[in-house]
Amino acid sequence: MPLFNVTLKDNAPADELTKAKEKAKSDGGEIKHEFTLIKGFTVEFPEDKVGVLQTNDHIHVEQDGEVKTQ
């Protein structure tokens, strides 16, 4: 399963992050890392179900990937 980074949008209520974690776990995801400097987490989640997370207006979801500098 691919990894997705989920972060709380600016001005979103903090409890929305907790709701997103619960939703991710109930839909077959596994939380792999919780961020401390930003409000968010990385979840291993079925790609065909990621739309469930993306419909939440309070969070931003993007697939985790390698970052390179030139």
State residue 7's pLDDT score.
96
Name the pTM for this structure: 0.86
pLDDT at 1: 85
Mean pLDDT of the chain: 91
Q: What is the pLDDT of residues 20-35, one digit of tens each?
A: 999 999 999 999 999 9
Residue 66 has pLDDT above 80, yes or no: no
Exposure string for 35-69, b = 16+ CB within 10 A, e = fewer:
eeeebbbbbebeeeebebbeebeebebeeeeeeee
pLDDT of residue 53: 86
